Amino acid sequence: MKLRAYLAMTKSLQTALLLVTAVAGYASARCPLLTWKTLLAMIVSLFLVISGSTVLNMVYDRDIDAVMKRTCWRPLPVGQVTPGEALRLGVVLCVLGSVLAFAMSLLFGLVVIAGLCFDAVVYTLWLKRRTAWSIVIGGLAGGMPVLAGRTLALGRVDVIGLLLMLAVLLWIPTHIMTFSIRYAEDYRRAGVPTFPSRYGMPLTRVLISLASVGAAVSIMIAAVGIGLSWGYMGFLGVLGFGLLALAIANIMRPSPGLNFGLFKYASLYMLSSMLLVVAGTLW
C-alpha cells in the first residue's frame, strides 16, 4: 500500500509525457554516437528528478490539495503518507537523479537542476500562490526535459533545443488554463490565483488560442531545422491545425464539453508531435 501511494505521488502520466519530450529532444540531434545506454541513463535520471520534484510539490501544496475536490484523495491529504515520509522520498529522488545527470554531462546536469529549481522553488514555493502568471515558470520547468535531451546529445544548447522548449512552454498554458476553467471552483476554494479568476474567461480563452498557435509554430520551425521529411511535417501540420481549430471554437462557442475536449487534445497533440519527431529522426 505504501509503495502504491508513493507511485501515485509521482503523477505517472504527466511524468511519462515529459520523458517522451526528453527522448524527442535526444533523438532530434541525429548524432551517430548516441547509444541506448546513454538514452536509458537519461530517462532514469529525468524520471527520478521529475518524480522527486512532483513529490516535493505535493508536500508543500498538501493544504491546497486537501480543500480541492479534484485532489483531496491524494496520499498526503488522506494520510496514506506522512509529510516527513514524502519529503524524504522527494529529496532522495531528486538527489539521485541529479547526481546521475551530472555524472553523464555537466551541461546536462545544469539543465536538469535548472528545471528542478524552476519547478520546486520558483513556481511552487514562490509564485503559485501569488500570481496567475506562475504558469509561465511552470512552462519553463516543463520545457527543460526536451532541452536537456537535445543538450545531452549535442553537448551544447542550440536554437532547435530552445524552440522545442518554447513549444512545451506554450503548450502548458493551453493545458493548465483549460484545466483551471474546468475546475474554477476548486481553485477559488483553495485561494490559488488563475487566469480565469484574475482576467476573466473571455481573455483566458484568447490566450489559450494564442499559446496554441505559438506551440504549433515553434514545433513546425524546429521540425524544419531538424530536417523532418514532408510526410512527418504534414502530420505535424494536421495536428497543429486541430489544436488551433479547437482553441478558436472554444472562443466562439465556449462550453464545458469543448473546453475539456481542448484540454485532452492538447496533451494528445504534444505527445503525438514529440513521437513524430522521434519517428522522423530514427526512420
Could you tell me the three cell numbers for 68?
A: 480541492
pLDDT for the residue 1 = 63
pLDDT at res. 33: 55
CA distances from 119 to 27, 72, 80, 112, 136 (A): 25, 22, 24, 11, 11
Give the distance from CA 148 to its chain's centroid. 13
CB atoms within 10 A of CB 198: 12
Domain ranges for the chain: 2-282
pLDDT of residue 149: 96
For residue 273, what pLDDT is reported?
Answer: 96
pLDDT at 34: 63
For the chain, 283 residues long, the average pLDDT of each consecutive 10-residue run is 86 94 93 77 98 97 93 93 96 98 97 96 94 89 96 95 96 86 91 93 90 92 94 93 89 87 90 95 82
Question: Pick from 257, 236, 253, 246: which is nearest to 208 by CA?
Answer: 246
Instruction: Supply the pLDDT for residue 70.
Output: 87
Instruction: Tell which CATH architecture fits domain 2-282.
Output: Orthogonal Bundle (1.10)
Is the model's pTM score more than 0.85? yes
